[in-house]
Amino acid sequence: MFIKRVVPRIIRNSRNEKTIQIELTTYEGKFIASAPSGKSTGKHEVPSYNSKGIGRSRVLLKAFCKRITGKNYLLKKIDDLKKLRSAIGKFEARFGRMGGNVTYTLDAVFLKAAAADKNKELWEFINDEVNNGLKPKMPMPVGNCIGGGLHSKLTRGKRPDFQEFLLIPKEASFSKAVTKNFHAYLYAKGLLKAQKRGDEGAWRTDKTNEEVLDILKKVGKKYGVRIGMDIAASTFYDKGYYLYKNKNLIRDKVDQADYMERLAKKFGVFYMEDGMQEEDFGGFRETLSAARKGALVVGDDLTTTNLARVRRAVAGKSINAMIIKPNQIGSMIEVKKVVEFCKRHKIKMIFSHRSGETMDNALADFAVGFGAHFIKCGIYGRERLIKLKRVMDIEKGLNK
């Protein structure tokens, strides 16, 4: 794969924040990838940019792109990204870190070009390696229906403390599941009397966690859709206490674990992400041991797509499912290692977008290619729909 040209740019994401886009030209054509960005980022994620900010990252990336222009990269499989990694490593050691969002985008655009070089779709390129070319199973969507926490502005001075209230259909096809989620999302709007959307297109409300779960349960029942929540507990945790603002109360570690258990039981919650703060492996373990059979206890800020943390969480029986966000770790080789580990240990994988998204749909190819059980990429909004549509198109192609 001959690198004819590499152009880094700064573009805007769905929250109108700056992010990195890279355009790579090879003899096969032009390829574009860009990085999403999180708002409730885990402490153990790699830093997104250079410590001096995205501007410095871009300057460094520009210099790096110059260095790799005119070079040849043999990229037959994901692990061949090692050569690019080693060039990045040497460069960063001399000039400073570019950040996980930048290194992820470099990996992603190289993989897109490598797939085209082999005359394959991106998902196929990945699938052939990790699933030996077997026809992949389609993931089910995890859709953010109602927002709270850092993802939502206040409505009449309030918002739910939990970050995301989710809908998770189980259908024979991905496209049916997407349609179901969309109808359920519109139904939820009526029950909530919601007017506005927050991050990820989720409805804004001033209701409490329980009031929202009550509505979500009704929605789930009407449409036959499972329900879930991303508590993002670290975002309202401080020095030993969970600070609930909507009802103005605090909970310690024991109360929090108990509260999670009660909510799961009362509302029949199928999916519970980051119910405890990001260092509390023991608290996750309690939630998992209390969970009903088949329910998912999901790590995100706990695990940050970092193999060492995933190993710890799995060895300690803290999770039975985890979020995979490639830019949390900034390397597709690392993502592959985490996927292989999850497969070996039967941990359910949820490939996930970030709350600040771009029009890149690579996440859909990653989810299908790596054999994810779920893809979490919202229900509404162009940055979300482009990913859902991509999975639907892959599914259509497979069923031809």
Please provide the DSSP assignment of 117-153 as one string: HTT--HHHHHHHHHSTTPPPPPPEEEEEEEE-GGGS-
Q: Which residue from 21, 26, 33, 38 is in contact with ligand PGA, where contact means CB under 6 A?
A: 38
**Site for Zn ion, residues 92 to 151, rule: CB under 5 A:** none
Among the listed residues 290, 278, 285, 345, the one whose alpha carbon sits nearest the alpha carbon of residue 318 = 285
Smallest gap from Cβ 197 to Zn ion, in A, equals 18
Beta bridge partners of 352: 376
- Pick one of Zn ion, ligand PGA, none as the site partner of residue 354 (Cβ within 5 to 8 A by kind): ligand PGA
Strands 164-168 and 226-230, how do they pair? Answer: antiparallel
Contact between 188 and 249 under an 8 Å Cβ cutoff? The reply is: no
Smallest gap from Cβ 42 to Zn ion, in A, equals 8
- Specify the amino acid at residue 93: A
Q: Which residue is nearest to ligand PGA (CB)?
A: 38
Smallest gap from Cβ 200 to ligand PGA, in A, equals 8
Number of C-alpha atoms within 13 angstroms, CB side, residue 182? 12
Among the listed residues 117, 23, 111, 6, the one whose alpha carbon sits nearest the alpha carbon of residue 69 = 6
Q: Which residue from 320, 331, 355, 358 is in contact with ligand PGA, where contact means CB under 6 A?
A: 355
Q: Which residue from 230, 278, 286, 365 is in contact with ligand PGA, where contact means CB under 6 A?
A: 230
Q: Which residue from 124, 300, 334, 395 is in contact with Zn ion, where contact means CB under 5 A?
A: 300
CB of 13 or CB of 144, closer to Zn ion? 144
Single out the segment in contact with ligand PGA by CB under 6 A; choices: 62-70, 125-133, 184-192, 350-358: 350-358
Please provide the DSSP assignment of 38-105 as one string: -SS--TTSPPSS-TT-HHHHHHHHHHHHHHHTT-B---SSGGGGHHHHHHHHHHHHHH----HHHHHH
Mark residues 213-252: x for contact with Zn ion by CB under 5 A, - for none: -----------------x----------------------
334 binds Zn ion (CB under 5 A): no
352 binds ligand PGA (CB under 6 A): yes
330 binds ligand PGA (CB under 6 A): no
Beta bridge partners of 30: 25
Mark residues 252-291: x for contact with ligand PGA by CB under 6 A, - for none: ----------------------------------------
CB of 107 or CB of 273, closer to ligand PGA? 273
9 binds ligand PGA (CB under 6 A): no
Q: In the chain, how long is the greatest CA-to-CA distance?
A: 61
Phi, psi of 207 (to 5 degrees): -70, 160
Among the listed residues 306, 305, 309, 259, the one whose alpha carbon sits nearest the alpha carbon of residue 280 = 309
105 binds ligand PGA (CB under 6 A): no
**Binding-site ranges for Zn ion (CB under 5 A):** 230, 273, 300
**Binding-site ranges for ligand PGA (CB under 6 A):** 38-41, 230, 232, 300, 352, 354-355
